[in-house]
Structure 1
């Protein structure tokens, strides 16, 4: 039975984590909810957040913050870490995930969710999207996706949680609803019944969440005949809903977190897949979220939240707007493309500055590149940095960049070419790069700016912060995941500071005094 709700109503805004935060998984532990998301080629991996009211989230760290846990050296964009699942049992947190081109399926543990987390414990079976379930009798099950496309299904087996050793052979337990890509399976036990929930249809227009139930952990599972979450038949500002996880709050109310995309009128979004929240309504033993009803909206109305006074009032602590002066250790929202090379990034070499040294690889290469950034979380925003960089060798360059992957990025900055230092702007679209501005400069310090709108990115620079020179613009669509050519893109736009030697390591430091994100 659901508890009686209070008559008052509360508004909250979706998404609860705006920007590239896909594949959410959630758990309640004592006074907080904790949530993790996929991170793919970015390092550190698996951002972890906490909240007391499910609305205001604070990033407390990253689960995989050491190379011994996550080696992304040669991984292409949209490889790396897929779909983590977070669980809590008897005082220990467990995060299980897939390193798709690395060590495969594994989990790590911690008693403090802010870290440190253990070294990886590998498990033997499954394709992607493993999840853990701790049963009342002490048995621990792994449920994971296996197969591809229409042959995709879920397998399940028991493990020794101390070692990861399989205690049973994997069994096929869930075939989904006949659609392609049965993914992100989770097993729950609620009111004495076992529920098997998964996504189906692929992570685009046909994306949906489906569920079955049984009185046994291995089924057979009676499937509910309709999706419990989808917008596939709706003309709605939120699309691609699915890949959900369920959590019960201390009132006995149930909630779901899941990914969705806010598409523009032209059918794309540079922000990628974001994390949304909706209440779960139980009816005759089945959970319901939103099956083409439109109840998942940008402005949500509920009758109560877990906490009446949020831990972080008045704003989303996960929002990254504001100025970073590089006066202290970088916050957990900063991320690198793959593992950073030793010595390539420092905030101590010159106090008050972020110092970058370019590597051989550049922004269009798969390799160790010098790039540090933050997720773009708003369509309308500006990103500005103050850079001191006087390159001494041909090929050295540094600047400000908006990045999707190797095939799509826009940057402006300073580079040395044929013995001259040049302000430049470059657009890389579908793997093809072209210089759209180049002019000689003698400035020691430049301010670099990228302004984002729904339709384009505008690039400009200034020597004094007052007089700005437009150096180019590029279509927003080209940075969106929907515009991929060679390889599907599962990420969203990241704005960052970078440096490269374009074929050789750079000996000239690029120093950034500050970075500012303004909406």
Structure 2
């Protein structure tokens, strides 16, 4: 018997850990729905459901068909889908976002959040980070961030026909923020007699902030908040950094909350965030007509009625008729590259490219969601070349690979590719595991060779039942501080020659027992 989760007096941040940036949220009755950016990964725009803002369950992906997510085969890492906004209006769910690799801004709609979502309705508006808001007369207003570069004009607003994708009025400049770089991520809200425009600025790194302005009409003029930013952790010693790109939501009881992206950098200066930008939650109060946002803590008092979250299953035995929505692949996942039917209870992967160092490979992975983690698979390589990879992009990944009776640990760091260690393995299925462990957790005398306080974590690669790792590698090279970009680590299965079979996949906290 499974017991119901207990009422929670506190909640832990992030509420959606791992590479889940640019959150946007809406409430329908007592249900909350949240979406995040997905960049070059397919399927795109993960969508989550919650009843209390604390426990979130992924219920699908908005862009789950190639017709919705046309990405060039050579689309660069960290391109693709930027900053979706989800809203519920007139009985329908609306989502607007930007495909920076193909076509620009577009809208999709659905009757149910699980989908199916429509094919894109493209809108002739420049820039990124679009938002949707409706006034009492039924007019739809789209605010967006102008294109970065010499023609950047801050946040602009247009009146649009969202059904047809037509611009009816504007766009007109709205607000350029407080003078910090890259005013972006606008969201427009009607609160009482005022329209509020919330933006992010300062860049999505450590200088990230949230700022506010208000006006009597979406056409402006806009009055900045008397104290901006309304949220920032820049130049503080708080463990949560890069706070920004936020959205607001109310509870049925009238409480206000903010979801936002932030990071958890660790290691030595300048520190490294290896999981990417994650989704956090913090309460909001209103004073004198302006929001007062609480600092973002790792543990904080929970919303009224919140329940202790139930963890998503860490193990996938590939017994379902389709892949779990948590599985993602770079750019595409052709039908012929995978199968759950060819060998029941196993995931078959067929090679579509010969290397992980270039686009086009067969890779199916999940976002790393725990700073200290263990990820394991049971692999039958057959006559193929396959394994388990911790990936940031084509130029930054660590692979535990099996081929021709040998297991090898391979490191790709920028222009360098090196086989770090090898070991013979017997024919047949073999367990592969990657663990991530922070430097402070290594017992004295057992530290990896060359351990330095700068490392945010170390990745250890295990083959079979041998407790000794085949190799241990510094985790900072799989961080965006080194590789650049907007994503986070994804750990997954791959094949670069022939066909390989995977019986199960398990990802969870390091100190929680797995297979």
| Match in the other structure for 2:427 | 443
Contact 1:404 / 1:480 at 8 angstroms: preserved in 2?
yes
* Cα distance in 2, alignment partners of residues 446 and 26 from structure 1: 42
Q: CA RMSD in A?
A: 1.7
* Cα distance in 2, alignment partners of residues 309 and 27 from structure 1: 17
| Match in the other structure for 2:491 | 495
- Provide, for residues 184-218 of structure 1, a one-character-per-residue CA deviation record: whole Å limited to 9, x for no partner: 01111101101111000000111000000011111
Deviation at 1:226, TM superposition (A): 1.6
Contact 1:149 / 1:181 at 8 angstroms: preserved in 2?
no
| Match in the other structure for 1:424 | 408
Query: What is the aligned counterpart of 1:362 among 355, 373, 377?
Result: 355
**Is 1:384 the equivalent of 2:376?**
yes
| Match in the other structure for 2:140 | 140
Query: What is the aligned counterpart of 1:399 among 387, 394, 397?
Result: 387
| Match in the other structure for 1:116 | 116
Contact 2:29 / 2:252 at 8 angstroms: preserved in 1?
no
* Cα distance in 2, alignment partners of residues 378 and 110 from structure 1: 32
* Cα distance in 2, alignment partners of residues 434 and 14 from structure 1: 37
Deviation at 1:440, TM superposition (A): 4.2
- Provide, for residues 338-365 of structure 1, a one-character-per-residue CA deviation record: whole Å limited to 9, x for no partner: 1112311111110000100111242110
Deviation at 1:489, TM superposition (A): 1.1
Alignment of 1:214-293 (within 5 A): 214-224=215-225, 225-266=227-268, 267-290=271-294
The unaligned stretches of length 5 or more in structure 2 are: 1-6, 439-456, 510-515
Number of matched pairs: 479
| Match in the other structure for 2:94 | 94
Deviation at 1:152, TM superposition (A): 4.9
Contact 1:180 / 1:201 at 8 angstroms: preserved in 2?
yes
* Cα distance in 2, alignment partners of residues 428 and 496 from structure 1: 16
Contact 1:12 / 1:55 at 8 angstroms: preserved in 2?
yes
Output the TM-score relative to the length of structure 1.
Answer: 0.89
Contact 2:274 / 2:480 at 8 angstroms: preserved in 1?
yes
| Match in the other structure for 2:36 | 37
**Is 1:510 the equivalent of 2:505?**
no
| Match in the other structure for 2:442 | none
- Provide, for residues 77-96 of structure 1, a one-character-per-residue CA deviation record: whole Å limited to 9, x for no partner: 10000000001101100110
* Cα distance in 2, alignment partners of residues 110 and 361 from structure 1: 38
SS in 2 for 1:483: helix
Contact 1:152 / 1:181 at 8 angstroms: preserved in 2?
no
SS in 2 for 1:169: strand
* Cα distance in 2, alignment partners of residues 490 and 278 from structure 1: 22
* Cα distance in 2, alignment partners of residues 77 and 146 from structure 1: 22
**Is 1:315 the equivalent of 2:303?**
no
The unaligned stretches of length 5 or more in structure 1 are: 1-7
- Provide, for residues 444-493 of structure 1, a one-character-per-residue CA deviation record: whole Å limited to 9, x for no partner: 2211110111221011201xxx3345321211101111112xxx310111
Deviation at 1:9, TM superposition (A): 9.1
SS in 1 for 2:477: helix
* Cα distance in 1, alignment partners of residues 189 and 402 from structure 2: 54
Deviation at 1:149, TM superposition (A): 5.6
**Is 1:209 the equivalent of 2:210?**
yes
* Distance of aligned partners of 1:261 and 1:175 in 2 relative to their CA distance in 1, 3 Å threshold: same
* Distance of aligned partners of 1:334 and 1:177 in 2 relative to their CA distance in 1, 3 Å threshold: same
| Match in the other structure for 2:191 | 190
* Cα distance in 2, alignment partners of residues 69 and 135 from structure 1: 28
SS in 2 for 1:229: coil
